[in-house]
């Protein structure tokens, strides 16, 4: 975690480039002190008098890995990084690691395992934590290792390694894994418990025990037996080298968990895609059958994951600092989300050009536009401030101001992108990282915050690329930008020079700031918004340079982290923070919990603002949960004793994402006598607040077919905005059927053509008849334009009763009183074309309170379509196949319709946008 700082930190990202093409360091040592990269260069030697990674006492350290992992890029800034980064010289094992639901700590005798289920609120009520507390230690008889090393790792799993010369132990642990998988030699399996265990099941090689109120299952090879003696449980391995331990959600789950006890997880991989406004991600585990043939497994999904999957889940759940985790019985699952919007800038709606010109000149003509910045962080913030203003100058025809700002940005970037001066980037061969000097906040000695700092550089470079593509060419300065991206957000798992997605934890759904993770509370992240700034920068850089791989990576990161921030920093659904924690937001998320604090101040304005800045066209996703924004601002003003004073611009801009008129009124009343936050300017704040006051708040319920598009809603009027970085005109389509023609290298704004009439959202739905809209919405609005969605083929497999790649339509924040004797009804227009043997199936689910748990689920018999082209009507009269739970009144609830192919080997269609395809719920 970063050291205390006087102000926030920043973020960066971009895609990998091949060393063979001259776009960054190769896997081996650099051949010269200065390594040319396009028109720029970096150094392979740190500047005199500076440091790389060290212990807390200043002793240089190298990665603590086994010979099998030597030379591989270590993913620092992870949930388990203390295994490889020995920050504290007296601890050669690890600090607590929070995998969730389990917690771990490496010690001389093996791996401590805990399952914290009771939160503590500490620090005068400002922090909640599910701190690691040992329930048991997994090891081998006699094991007393001098250290623990990282032996292997994948996207969210890691294998710690112990050896004392006579015995070796490897364990595989990870996010969402209820199992710990162990391989050992030289001793028997040994489990030591924090207190004498209570045995609830003894099946020889399978033992069920309860420790501190938590239920565990111990699995030894078939033919062996566990022996309990006080607080020590042992089993000979019978000539084998494997055993496993699982935390059980209940004692009656033992049989299910036994089925997968010998299906050892060997790796984890996420794959993502972006398509026409939707981000999909598949999280998959690879396994090895140690006994039998079972290759499946169990994994626990975080809230931000299970909210966005239609894959079936078991009834099993776990407690975690991120709220309830739900268990999936399979080796993979897929999430689908509406893509987060990103724009180079808001359109200049309602802006007075003369007034904006005056504000722009204040910055452009400043005697020191960089405010004395010399290190990577503060230089980055200054670059970001200037970059935000370039499109604004262009909007009002001020080419001279625009070009002056671009010249300032280029000059400072080129200065940093050239080795040998007062500032430069230096590559560390041992740690496979690029560090900027002068460094700050431990970006050198602790490898902190690279994504924060470098994100500003990539963002600024993306704005330059939008106006000067030649500058961004790989042969010019673009290859240095790509090298920074490889350091912070490398999408390649085979790049020998940088780790895969260094700071971003794909399973946790967000980044981590500390390079070493050397804290009792695990890793942490304070400024989540500087992390998403990097993701937005990737979207813009990829779009400006034609790199769709990088653009789509940025969209995946921004969309995923946006939802994680909403749930874990802002508690958007009020289902994550413990009831005993009396805050509506946190400044920092830790592995063990979260804190209403920052590293440098207890000032409420900065606690709330640190997860907002910098405010850019990549911040629009913060407006996806407007009630959370309102609660956040209200708490800040309560804690502050009134409206913001220091960071008023940041917090006005944040409020405008939910209530633009109220935020603009605050600007109108107080814009004369304040000093902008260091990364802000009056020009940008005035433009932002005026534009949203004119257009309305961002509307996340509608997405465009291009990542650089957004929708705004004021009253019942939607405004559609898109930026086209390409060299030819294109038409951007939106999920409500509207479209927008966008000229080359331009931003277009309008009310759209075609599609449906807009309806207010996310205000509570009224009425009980919902149309289906392409893009996944259920709406009570009428007058839509007919369209259709494709129902994916069942691929010859029987999915009767179980959704598979289903179309999902939802209405949220629904209020209604259950009609006595009422029942669900629907009529859905479906068509199989000329394909024989298809059957479409529907499931309707009701989450009565919007807490993410569906209280009532109804699955209907499938409808066998005929092989004649034309719409057929599938209705509830086909009959109910199964139902669980009971209906009740809806209070801010969610209604979901899923439609999929139950049988057959071909795609079919589902009509949308008309009153012939509707869901009718039994509510008044």
Tell me the catalytic residues: 449, 526, 530
* Angle, alpha carbons 26-31-34 (nearest 5°): 95
Give Cα separations from 776 to 134, 734, 736, 827, 845 (angstroms).
Answer: 44, 12, 9, 17, 14
* Angle, alpha carbons 522-525-526 (nearest 5°): 130
CA–CA separation, 236 and 226 (whole Å) = 8
Contact 139, 160 (CB under 8 A): no
CA–CA separation, 677 and 597 (whole Å) = 19
Contact 674, 649 (CB under 8 A): yes
Please tell me the total number of residues recorded for the chain in this structure: 924
Give Cα separations from 150 to 144, 520, 909 (angstroms).
Answer: 17, 19, 50
Contact 677, 647 (CB under 8 A): yes
Question: How many Cβ atoms are within 10 Å of 42's Cβ, its own excluded?
Answer: 26
CA–CA separation, 475 and 844 (whole Å) = 55
CA–CA separation, 15 and 537 (whole Å) = 11
Q: What is the torsional sign of CA 295, 296, 298, 301? A: positive
Residue 272 β-bridge partners: 281
Of all helices (H) and strands (E), which one includes residue 391? helix 376-395
Locate 82 and state its tokens.
Answer: 């203390």
Q: What is the torsional sign of CA 437, 438, 444, 450? A: negative
CA–CA separation, 323 and 571 (whole Å) = 10
CA–CA separation, 702 and 710 (whole Å) = 8
Contact 549, 118 (CB under 8 A): no
Question: How many Cβ atoms are within 10 Å of 368's Cβ, its own excluded?
Answer: 8
Give Cα separations from 718 to 699, 751, 755 (angstroms).
Answer: 8, 6, 12
633-636: long-range contacts at Cβ-Cβ below 8 A with a sequence spacing of 24 or more?
Answer: 633/608, 633/658, 634/584, 635/583, 635/584, 635/585, 635/604, 635/608, 636/604, 636/605, 636/607, 636/608
The label of the residue with tokens 């008309």 reads: 914
């Amino acid at each position: 975690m970063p050291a205390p700082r006087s102000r926030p930190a920043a973020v960066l990202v971009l895609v990998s480039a091949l060393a063979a093409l001259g776009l960054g360091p190769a896997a081996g040592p650099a051949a010269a002190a200065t390594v040319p990269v396009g028109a720029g260069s970096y150094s392979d030697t740190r500047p005199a008098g500076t440091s790389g990674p060290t212990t807390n006492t200043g002793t240089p350290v190298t990665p603590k890995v086994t010979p099998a992992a030597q030379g591989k890029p270590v993913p620092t800034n992870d949930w388990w990084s203390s295994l490889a980064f020995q920050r504290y010289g007296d601890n050669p094992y690890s600090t607590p690691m929070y995998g969730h639901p389990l917690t771990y700590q490496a010690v001389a005798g093996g791996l401590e395992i805990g399952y914290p289920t009771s939160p503590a609120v500490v620090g005068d009520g400002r922090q909640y934590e599910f701190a690691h507390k040992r329930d048991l230690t997994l090891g081998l008889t006699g094991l007393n290792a001098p250290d623990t090393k990282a032996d292997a790792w994948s996207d969210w799993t890691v294998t710690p390694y112990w050896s004392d010369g006579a015995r070796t132990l490897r364990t595989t642990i990870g996010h969402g894994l209820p199992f710990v998988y162990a391989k050992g030699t030289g001793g028997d399996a040994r489990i030591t418990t924090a207190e004498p265990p209570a045995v609830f099941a003894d099946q020889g090689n399978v033992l069920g025990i309860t420790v501190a109120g938590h239920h565990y299952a111990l699995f030894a090879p078939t033919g062996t037996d566990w022996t309990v003696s006080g607080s020590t449980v042992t089993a000979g391995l019978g000539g084998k080298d494997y055993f496993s331990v699982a935390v059980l959600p209940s004692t009656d789950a033992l049989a299910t968990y036994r089925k997968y006890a010998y299906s050892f997880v060997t790796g984890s991989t996420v794959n993502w895609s972006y398509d026409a406004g939707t981000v999909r991600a598949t999280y998959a585990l690879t396994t090895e059958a140690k006994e039998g043939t079972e290759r499946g497994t169990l994994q626990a999904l975080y809230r931000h994951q299970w909210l966005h999957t239609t894959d079936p889940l078991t009834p099993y759940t776990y407690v975690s600092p991120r709220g309830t985790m739900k268990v999936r019985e399979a080796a993979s699952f897929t999430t689908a989300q509406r893509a987060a919007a990103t724009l180079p800038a808001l359109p200049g709606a309602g802006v007075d050009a003369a007034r904006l010109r005056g504000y722009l000149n204040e910055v452009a003509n400043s005697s020191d536009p960089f405010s004395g910045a010399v290190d990577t962080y503060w230089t980055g913030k200054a670059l970001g401030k200037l970059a935000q203003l370039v499109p604004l100058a262009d909007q009002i025809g001020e080419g001279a101001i625009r070009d002056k700002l671009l010249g300032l940005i280029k000059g400072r970037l080129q200065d940093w992108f050239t080795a040998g001066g007062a500032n430069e980037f230096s590559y560390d061969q041992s740690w496979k990282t690029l560090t900027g000097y002068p460094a700050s906040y431990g970006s050198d000695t602790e490898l902190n915050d690279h994504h924060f700092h470098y994100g500003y550089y990539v963002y600024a470079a993306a704005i330059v690329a939008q106006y000067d593509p030649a500058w961004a060419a790989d042969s010019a300065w673009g290859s240095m930008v790509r090298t920074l991206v490889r350091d912070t957000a490398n999408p390649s798992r085979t790049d020998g020079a940088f780790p895969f997605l260094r700071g971003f934890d794909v399973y946790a759904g967000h980044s981590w700031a500390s390079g070493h993770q050397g804290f009792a509370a695990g890793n942490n992240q304070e400024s989540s918004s500087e992390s998403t700034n990097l993701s937005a920068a990737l979207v813009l850089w990829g779009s400006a340079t034609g790199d769709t791989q990088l653009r789509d990576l940025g969209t995946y990161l921004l969309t995923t982290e946006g939802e994680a921030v909403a749930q874990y920093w802002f508690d958007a659904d009020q289902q994550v923070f413990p009831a005993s924690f009396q805050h509506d937001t946190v400044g920092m998320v830790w592995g063990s919990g979260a804190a209403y604090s920052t590293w440098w101040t207890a000032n409420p304005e900065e606690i709330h603002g640190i997860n907002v800045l910098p405010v850019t066209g990549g911040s629009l996703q913060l407006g996806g949960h407007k009630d959370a924004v309102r609660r956040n601002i209200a708490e800040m003003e309560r804690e502050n004793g009134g409206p913001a004073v220091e960071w008023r611009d940041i917090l006005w801009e944040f409020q405008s994402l939910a209530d633009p008129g109220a935020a603009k009124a605050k600007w109108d009343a107080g814009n004369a006598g304040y000093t902008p936050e260091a990364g802000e300017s009056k020009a940008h704040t005035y433009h932002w607040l005026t534009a949203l006051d004119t257009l309305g708040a961002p509307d996340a319920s509608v997405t465009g077919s291009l990542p650089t598009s957004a929708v705004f809603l004021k009253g019942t009027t939607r405004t559609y905005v898109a930026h086209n970085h390409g060299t030819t005109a294109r038409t951007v389509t939106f999920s409500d059927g509207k479209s927008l023609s966008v000229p080359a290298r331009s931003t277009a704004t309008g009310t759209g053509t075609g599609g449906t009439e807009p309806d207010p959202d996310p205000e509570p739905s009224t009425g009980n008849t919902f149309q289906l809209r392409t893009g996944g919405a259920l709406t009570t609005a009428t007058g839509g334009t007919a369209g259709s969605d494709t129902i994916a083929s069942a691929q010859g497999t029987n999915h009767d009763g179980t959704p598979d790649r289903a179309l999902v339509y939802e209405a949220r924040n629904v209020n209604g009183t259950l009609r006595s004797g009422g029942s669900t009804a629907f009529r859905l227009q479906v068509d199989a074309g000329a394909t024989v043997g298809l059957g479409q199936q529907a499931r309707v689910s009701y989450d009565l309170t919007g807490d993410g748990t569906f209280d009532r689920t109804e699955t209907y018999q499938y409808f066998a379509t005929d092989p004649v082209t034309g719409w057929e009507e599938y209705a509830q009269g086909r009959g109910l196949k199964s139902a669980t739970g009971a209906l009740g009144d809806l209070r801010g609830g969610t209604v979901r319709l899923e439609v999929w192919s139950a049988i057959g080997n071909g795609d079919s269609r589902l009509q949308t946008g008309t009153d012939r395809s509707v869901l009718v719920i039994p509510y008044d």
